[in-house]
Amino acid sequence: MTGNKNTFEELEEALKFGWSLLDDLNFQYISDWKNDNPSRQAIGYFPIYVPREIIHAAGMLPVGLFGGGSHLQVIKGDAYFQSYICHLPRSVIEMALDGNYADIDGFIFPSICDVIRNLSGVFKIIIPGKFIKYLDYPQNFDWGVGGEFYSLELWKLQQELFELNGIQVSSRDLNHSIILYNKNRRLISQLQNIRSATPWKISTADFYAVMRAGYVISVEDHNNYLENVITLLGQIECEPEDKIRVIITGSFCEQPPMGMIKTIENAGCYIVDDDFQLGAMWIVGDIIDVSNDPMQALARAYLEQRVLSSSVYDSDGSKGNFLARLVKKHKADGVIFCAPSFCDPALLDRPELEKTMDKYHIKHISFRYHENLGQFQVIKEQVGTFSDSIKLWA
């Protein structure tokens, strides 16, 4: 490792900040933010994607909610959902009932799967009186059909937020928010490029924590944070280890436990790309930020610039080819299909994706997890042998 000792210490401090937010299930940052801004609201949203620009333009703080991960033991949440669905809804219900979301003034449930749809209904029952919004997305990407529908959905969302705080959002306000989030996506993309090119400089676990901070802190703060981390990474040099390069896919909604990410990295892999926290990178490239109708710009971006994901309808098999292109782009040695147990979108896509990987002779393994998984021995074995098989026998 080379670089100024202070640089390493600064980087460590910066990463610690991300981890502290990740570990804080009581959202102290939001509490502080509300104390500083008593007239403003925090709006929680669930995975995967929500157009945060609209919330931000309304003067509110968008807060990404993922559940308690491995920090939380779910007891009450189990009473609300059957055992054969994913872990995420049970976890967020537990947190809601325990008062972890006390500082959050409203919740948006984007359309991902039936479970999240039902979760919005459950929230109406368990947190009566709070703003609860089920946000539907188009599965038809023709502007005349899906575009019209989605524009109307976004307009309705804006009106509902107006009813909450009485702030009328102008095109200029929304364009300003788009500018900030465009910058945010560019910075994340820059950080992602650093990870892909030099994964020995920043582990995926740390990368995750830095990115995840953006789901809690304001976009302005997150942009500063990202710039700081990127600058510090540019000032250090580290020796690469002899590891294989892998892409992880299937973890876009319920997030994997940090222990699992670390296990994969310790078992001999550099994770050079993944779909964790996919919402922050859902839109590829910049959204037009000088339009007279920024709402339409947001809707068009969803239709025309979205990333390919299992939660979006795809009839022509382009998701498999997209993944194969990612493998090539990141010079990956293999793919790890890693989906939460009972995640219908990810698990239904998996056989087709595996077939495509086989077609291109891309090596792959697969396993499942749930967000509070604590035992990683089996995953360690699977990934360790996968890594060795590529390093020694490929």
Partner 1 sequence: MIYTIGIDVGSSFIKTILMSYGETPIILEKINDKIHKRNPSTVIEHAMDTVLEKQGLKYEDVSYVASTGEGELVKRKKGHFYGMTTHAKGAHYYFPEVSTVLDLGSLFCRAIKVGRDARVLKYTMTGQCASGSGQFLENITRYLGLNLSDVGTLSLKSKHPERPSGVCAVLAETDVINMVSRGVKIEDIIKGIHLTIANRVVRLLSRLKAESPVVLTGGMALNLGLVAAIKETIDVRNMNLEVITNEYSPLAGAVGAALWGGYRYLKLAEA
Comparison of 224 and 385: residue with beta carbon closer to partner 1: 385
Site residues for partner 1, window 264-283 (CB under 8 A)?
A: 266-268
Amino acid code (one letter) for 192: Q
Alpha-carbon gap, residue 250 to 290, rounded angstroms = 35
Alpha-carbon gap, residue 281 to 284, rounded angstroms = 7
Residue 81 Ramachandran class (φ > 0 left, ψ -120 to 50 alpha, else beta)? beta
To the nearest whole angstrom, how small is the minimum distance from the Cβ of residue 306 to partner 1? 37
To the nearest whole angstrom, how small is the minimum distance from the Cβ of residue 387 to partner 1? 7
Site residues for partner 1, window 192-251 (CB under 8 A)?
A: 241-243
Comparison of 243 and 370: residue with beta carbon closer to partner 1: 243
Site residues for partner 1, window 354-383 (CB under 8 A)?
A: 377, 381
Q: How far is CA 303 from CA 72, 296, 307, in A?
A: 36, 11, 10
Site residues for partner 1, window 305-324 (CB under 8 A)?
A: none
241 and 269 in contact (C-beta within 8 Å)? no
To the nearest whole angstrom, how small is the minimum distance from the Cβ of residue 384 to partner 1? 3
7 is an interface residue for partner 1 by CB under 8 A: no
- Binding residue (CB under 8 A) for partner 1 from 254, 330, 387, 390: 387
Q: How far is CA 365 from CA 141, 157, 252, 284, in A?
A: 32, 41, 17, 27
Comparison of 240 and 285: residue with beta carbon closer to partner 1: 240
Amino acid code (one letter) for 166: G
Comparison of 6 and 385: residue with beta carbon closer to partner 1: 385
To the nearest whole angstrom, how small is the minimum distance from the Cβ of residue 188 to partner 1? 27
211 and 191 in contact (C-beta within 8 Å)? yes
Site residues for partner 1, window 45-74 (CB under 8 A)?
A: none
Nearest to 281 by CA among 181, 199, 178, 140: 181
Nearest to 48 by CA among 103, 122, 112: 112
Comparison of 35 and 375: residue with beta carbon closer to partner 1: 375
Among the residue ranges 48-56, 78-86, 229-237, 386-394, the one whose residues contact partner 1 (CB under 8 A): 386-394
Cα dihedral: 338, 344, 349, 354 (round 10): 40
Comparison of 27 and 386: residue with beta carbon closer to partner 1: 386
Comparison of 227 and 388: residue with beta carbon closer to partner 1: 388
| Residue ranges in contact with partner 1 by CB under 8 A | 241-243, 262, 266-268, 377, 381, 384-385, 387-388, 391-393
